[in-house]
């Protein structure tokens, strides 16, 4: 899988979407993380037009990234973050995966032995989004709508000044850079200048890193939203850190998670609606006020189980606590207008299709146009809709420690609702049952947490016991350990990754699963050809860094962070990597190329160019019955789209070197 692009369904990787297993009530709208989400579905319609007539033109053209200049090519311009109301600059997304080899800091390429490390469980970042349960909240006196002037951004906001601060404040587009420090709301100058004061941290003071904060679920969520908006922090990392600092029940942590991911995912749609009610436009609001408005509207519009008035009352309380009465009045006025005129919260259906899809499913218009060009309108819309669905929780059995049937029975006996995956012979779908990374069977190495489509990569590679296998971009190791399990832990598996700190992620998984055949290695995959003999591996896996557009439902902010230039840069690196590692495959051996994106440029086109330039390789079909009926996107390999199986969008090509 891939760069942004790591397997979303692994404990080591991307966004956590379910926390804990408890079902305690939260103070203000309780939230049961064990239940499937029940969200309202957005509908398009004409009512917004009436509202437009009444309240004047909307900010639609900027809020959904539709800042297209007349005559501009659909792909020619990414919506600026500014246009999306995020306050981050488009250029602020450093992407290590797109670095050329020359630019990258060279690291000594060393092969290290197996590491015995076994660390504490990390929170599962899979987990379905959870649902909110309704709780009545007392009424706040209604106040008349006021101008948003009081809540608009201060014209001068201090920016990080030192180089180090600037680096920290920048947002990397790669989830692979998970260890990079990100600012936390409530800490540091930029937060203070943005009016973000973490409750409990004390205004003007640097909060100790591990200090616990007494915050509500909504305050915690707002801290994250404001931090993402203000400094371009990764939502999943900031959420993890915020939740570690906040003393929330599992149910409240679940609610905070839902609010963060849901609000970010629905941002363009929310801004479109808010702009119908906020004269000066949502973009001009102070980041935390903007976050509060979006988050509150998200509850009103998309969460069935939170009473709208509770969402409004909570928002007003937060505004008072964090700002002042003027802001609270504005928040109250706008949100109560929304409640009164809720029937205008529909996207007009007479918009051009690309614009309507972008607004209705909250995606940047350039991305929608790109997918329409690649897949047609119907499929592009289905992909966008699927990207807003909560991801399934899926696990892969460790076939060395029991069969799928046994684990299904044992998990059922534990009270979980589980079923066999239709896509992967080792896959199990967990319909309910909480955080699988806390399960004793997980600790015992009986299964790994992995998305179903990722499970198909090892099937395509078809490794056998005793073989030598090279996994070029291996961390955090989800596919490496699957390969080792298929090889019954016999043979040699070299698991390489560019980043030294990721070695331990692979080693931990190998240790947990009892797999000793894996060696970890650090280095640029472009230099693997200099470190290993040509034609020395039976199987080579290049699970390449990629744009990650197949895992947007796990990483909702990805859609706002990436630009067309990112996709082009990563596509160049992928071609270099593919050519570079091909010579390591033995004659008759197999090279598998995979990504977690749905971009043809990174998938079919990359493989087609490779085959054109490497006559000694040929594309081969692989036998996965469930994939037989999906429409092939053309060319070599299999493209899985997120709406087809409810799995991650994924591409897999099997290339055999002629004997």
Ligand X SMILES: C[S@@+](CC[C@H](N)C(=O)[O-])C[C@H]1O[C@@H](n2cnc3c(N)ncnc32)[C@H](O)[C@@H]1O
Q: Which residues are catalytic?
A: 596
CB-based burial, 308-324: b 16+ in 10 Å, e otherwise: bbbbbbbbbbbbbebbe
Work out whether 173 is an interface residue with ligand X (CB under 6 A).
no
Does 519 contact ligand X by CB under 6 A? Answer: no
Binding residues: 473-479, 497, 524, 543
Q: Quick check: 560 and 261 in contact, CB under 8 A?
A: no
Task: Please tell me whether residue 463 binds ligand X under the rule CB under 6 A.
Answer: no
User: Which residues in the 94-113 window bind ligand X by CB under 6 A?
Assistant: 97
**503 touches ligand X by CB under 6 A:** no
Cα angle at 492 between 487 and 496, to 5 degrees? Answer: 110
DSSP 274-320: HHHH-TT-GGGB-HHHHHHHHHHHHHHHHBTTS-HHHHHHHHHHHHH
- Tell me whether strands 650-657 and 617-620 are parallel, antiparallel or unpaired: antiparallel
Q: Does 513 bind ligand X (CB under 6 A)?
A: no
* From 132, 474, 518, 558, residue interacting with ligand X (rule: CB under 6 A): 474
d(C-alpha 448, C-alpha 510), whole Å: 11
Distance of CA 301 to the CA centre of its chain: 22
Strands 31-32, 131-132: pairing is antiparallel
Choice between 289 and 505, CB closer to ligand X: 505
Nearest approach, Cβ of 93 to ligand X (angstroms)? Answer: 16
By beta-carbon proximity to ligand X, the closer residue of 296 and 480 is 480
Span near ligand X by CB under 6 A; candidates 153-161, 362-370, 522-530, 622-630: 522-530
Query: Count residues contacting ligand X (CB under 6 A)?
Result: 24
Q: Which one of the spans 222-230, 383-391, 470-478, 614-622 is the region binding ligand X (CB under 6 A)?
A: 470-478
Using CB under 6 A as the binding rule, whether residue 8 contacts ligand X is answered as: no
**Is the CB of 99 or the CB of 189 nearer to ligand X?**
99
DSSP 8-state assignment for residue 604: H
CB 277 within 8 A of CB 52: no
Segment 137-156, which members bind ligand X (CB under 6 A)?
Answer: none
Rounded alpha-carbon distances, angstroms, from residue 95 to 3, 573, 579: 9, 12, 22
Told to check if 382 binds ligand X by CB under 6 A, we report: no
649 binds ligand X (CB under 6 A): no
Smallest gap from residue 404 Cβ to ligand X (A): 20
Closer by beta carbon to ligand X, 441 or else 651: 651
| Residue 610, φ and ψ in degrees, nearest 5 | -60, -45
Q: Least distance from C-beta 271 to ligand X, angstroms?
A: 31
Here's the x/- map for ligand X, 415-454, by CB under 6 A: it reads as ----------------------------------------
- Is residue 524 a contact point for ligand X (CB under 6 A)? yes
User: Among residues 8 and 254, whose Cβ is nearest to ligand X?
Assistant: 8
Report the alpha-carbon distance of residue 551 to residue 572 in Å, rounded. Answer: 21
Among 254, 291, 477, 491, binds ligand X (CB under 6 A): 477
Q: Tell the smallest beta-carbon distance from residue 109 to ligand X (Å).
A: 10
Give the range of 26-34, 134-142, 361-369, 491-499 binding ligand X by CB under 6 A: 491-499
Whichever of 139 and 501 has its CB closer to ligand X, that residue is 501
How far is it between the farthest Cα atoms of the chain?
79
Among 497, 511, 519, 599, the residue binding ligand X under the rule CB under 6 A is: 497
Q: Which of 263, 272, 196 is nearest to 231 (CA)?
A: 196
Which residue, 64 or 569, has its beta carbon nearer to ligand X? 569
Q: Name the one range near ligand X by CB under 6 A: 63-71, 78-86, 378-386, 497-505.
A: 497-505
The strand pair at 427-432 and 393-397 is best described as antiparallel
One of 195, 291, 390, 478 touching ligand X (CB under 6 A): 478
Q: For ligand X, which stretch binds (CB under 6 A), given 47-55, 206-214, 435-443, 471-479? A: 471-479
Min separation Cβ 191 and ligand X, Å = 29
Candidate list 1, 16, 393, 571; residue touching ligand X; CB under 6 A: 1
Q: How far apart are CA 659 and CA 100, in angstroms?
A: 32
Q: How many Å apart are CA 202 and CA 251, to the nearest integer?
A: 26
| Rounded Cα distance, 155 and 137, in Å | 36
Of 260 and 525, the one with the shorter C-beta distance to ligand X is 525
Shortest Å, Cβ 3 to ligand X: 5
> What are the beta bridge partners of residue 655?
591, 619
Q: Which of 171, 322, 363, 479 binds ligand X (CB under 6 A)?
A: 479
Feature table: binding site for S-adenosyl-L-methionine: 473-479, 497, 524, 543
Q: Which of 476, 583, 589, 646 is in the footprint of ligand X by CB under 6 A?
A: 476
Residue nearer to ligand X on the CB measure, 213 or 585: 585
Provide the minimum distance between the beta carbon of 6 and ligand X in the complex, in angstroms, as a whole number.
4
CB 69 to ligand X: min, Å: 34
Task: Name which of residues 543 to 602 contact ligand X (CB under 6 A).
Answer: 543, 545
Bridge partners (DSSP) listed for residue 171 = 93
The DSSP annotation for 121-149 comes to: PPPPS-S---EE-----PPPPP-----GG
Is 192 a binding residue for ligand X by CB under 6 A? The answer is no
CB of 476 to ligand X, least distance (A): 5
Q: Which residue has the tokens 């490496």?
A: 480
User: In terms of DSSP H, where are the helices of 170-249?
Assistant: 189-193, 217-231, 235-245
Q: Which is nearer to ligand X, 344 or 652 (CB)?
A: 652
Q: Does 2 bind ligand X (CB under 6 A)?
A: yes
485 lies in the binding site for ligand X (CB under 6 A)? no
Query: What sign for the dihedral angle of Cα 409, 414, 420, 423?
Result: negative
Tokens (6 digits) for 472: 């070029």
Rg of the chain in Å (alpha carbons): 24
The reply to whether 336 sits near ligand X by the rule CB under 6 A is no
- Regarding 647 and contact with ligand X (CB under 6 A), the answer is no
Contacts of 226 (CB under 8 A, 6+ apart): 185, 191, 194, 196, 287, 288, 291
Q: Which residue is nearest to ligand X (CB)?
A: 473
**How far apart are CB 499 and ligand X at their closest, in Å?**
5
In three state form, how does the secondary structure of 617-631 look?
EEEECCCCHHHCCCC
If 0-12 CB within 10 Å is exposed, 13-18 middle and 19+ buried, where does residue 138 land?
exposed
What is the C-alpha separation between 567 and 554, in angstroms, rounded? 19
Q: Which is nearer to ligand X, 152 or 598 (CB)?
A: 598
Per CB under 6 A, does 176 bind ligand X?
yes
Which of 619, 441, 425, 408 lies closest to 513 in space, CA to CA? 441
Q: Are 190 and 159 within 8 A, CB to CB?
A: yes
Residue 473 binding ligand X, by CB under 6 A: yes
Could you give the CA distance from residue 592 to residue 610 in angstroms, rounded to a whole number?
A: 12
Q: How far is the CB of 599 from ligand X (least distance, A)?
A: 14
3-class DSSP assignment, residue 538: strand
Q: Interface residues with ligand X (CB under 6 A)?
A: 1-3, 5-7, 97, 176, 473-479, 497-499, 502, 524-526, 543, 545
């Amino acid at each position: 899988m891939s760069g942004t692009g790591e397997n979303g369904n692994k404990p080591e990787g991307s966004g956590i979407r379910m926390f804990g297993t408890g079902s305690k009530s939260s103070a203000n709208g309780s939230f049961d993380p064990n239940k499937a989400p029940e969200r309202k579905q957005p509908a398009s319609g004409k009512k917004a037009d009436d509202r437009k007539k009444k309240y004047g033109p909307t900010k639609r053209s900027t809020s959904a990234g539709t800042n297209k200049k007349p005559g501009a090519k659909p792909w020619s311009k990414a919506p600026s973050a500014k246009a999306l109301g995020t306050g981050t600059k488009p250029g602020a997304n450093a992407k290590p995966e797109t670095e050329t080899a020359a630019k990258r800091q060279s690291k000594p390429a060393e092969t290290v032995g197996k590491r015995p490390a076994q660390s504490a469980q990390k929170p599962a970042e899979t987990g379905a989004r959870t649902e909110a349960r309704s709780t009545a909240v007392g009424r706040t006196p209604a106040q008349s709508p006021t101008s948003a002037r009081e809540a608009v951004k201060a014209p001068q906001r201090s920016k990080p000044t030192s180089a180090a601060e600037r680096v920290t404040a920048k947002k990397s587009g790669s989830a692979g850079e998970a260890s990079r420090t990100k600012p936390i709301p409530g800490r540091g100058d930029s937060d203070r200048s943005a009016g973000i004061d973490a409750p409990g941290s004390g205004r003007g003071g640097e909060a100790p890193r591990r200090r616990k904060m007494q915050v509500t679920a909504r305050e915690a969520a707002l801290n994250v939203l404001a931090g993402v908006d203000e400094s371009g922090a990764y939502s999943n990392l900031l959420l993890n850190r915020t939740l570690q600092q906040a003393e929330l029940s599992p149910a409240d942590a679940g609610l905070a998670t839902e609010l963060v991911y849901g609000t970010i995912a629905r941002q363009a749609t929310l801004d479109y609606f808010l702009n119908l009610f906020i004269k000066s436009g949502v973009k001009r609001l102070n980041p935390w006020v903007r976050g509060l408005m979006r988050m509150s509207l998200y509850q009103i519009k998309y969460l069935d189980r939170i009473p709208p008035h509770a969402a409004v009352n909570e928002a007003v309380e937060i505004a008072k606590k964090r700002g002042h009465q003027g802001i609270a009045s504005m928040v109250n006025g706008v949100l109560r207008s929304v409640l009164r005129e809720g029937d205008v919260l529909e996207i007009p259906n007479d918009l051009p299709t690309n614009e309507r899809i972008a607004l209705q499913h909250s995606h940047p218009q350039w991305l929608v146009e790109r997918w329409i060009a690649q897949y047609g309108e119907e499929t592009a819309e289905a992909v966008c809709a699927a990207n807003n669905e909560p991801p399934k929780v899926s696990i892969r059995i460790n076939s060395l420690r029991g069969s799928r049937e046994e684990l299904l029975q044992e998990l059922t006996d534990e009270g979980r609702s589980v079923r066999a995956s239709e896509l992967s012979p080792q896959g199990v779908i967990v319909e309910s049952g909480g955080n699988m990374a806390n399960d004793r069977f997980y600790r015992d190495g009986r299964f790994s947490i992995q998305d179903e489509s990722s499970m198909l990569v090892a099937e395509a590679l078809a490794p056998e016991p005793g073989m030598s296998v090279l996994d070029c971009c291996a961390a955090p190791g989800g596919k490496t350990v699957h390969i080792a399990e298929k090889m019954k832990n016999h043979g040699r598996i070299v698991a390489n990754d560019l980043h030294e700190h990721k070695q331990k992620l692979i080693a931990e998984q190998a240790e947990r699963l009892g797999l000793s055949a894996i060696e970890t290695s650090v280095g640029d995959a472009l230099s693997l050809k200099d470190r290993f003999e040509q034609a020395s591996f039976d199987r080579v896996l290049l699970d390449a860094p990629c744009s990650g557009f197949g895992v947007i439902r796990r990483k909702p902010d990805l859609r706002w962070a990436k630009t067309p230039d990112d996709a082009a840069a990563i596509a160049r690196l992928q071609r270099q990597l593919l050519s570079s590692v091909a010579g390591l495959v033995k004659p008759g051996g197999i090279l598998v190329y995979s990504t977690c994106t749905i971009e043809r440029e990174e998938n079919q086109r990359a493989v087609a160019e490779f085959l054109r330039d490497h006559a000694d390789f040929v594309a081969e079909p692989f036998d996965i019955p469930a994939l037989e009926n999906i429409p092939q996107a053309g060319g070599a390999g299999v493209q899985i789209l997120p709406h087809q199986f409810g799995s991650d969008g994924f591409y897999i090509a099997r290339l055999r070197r002629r004997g």
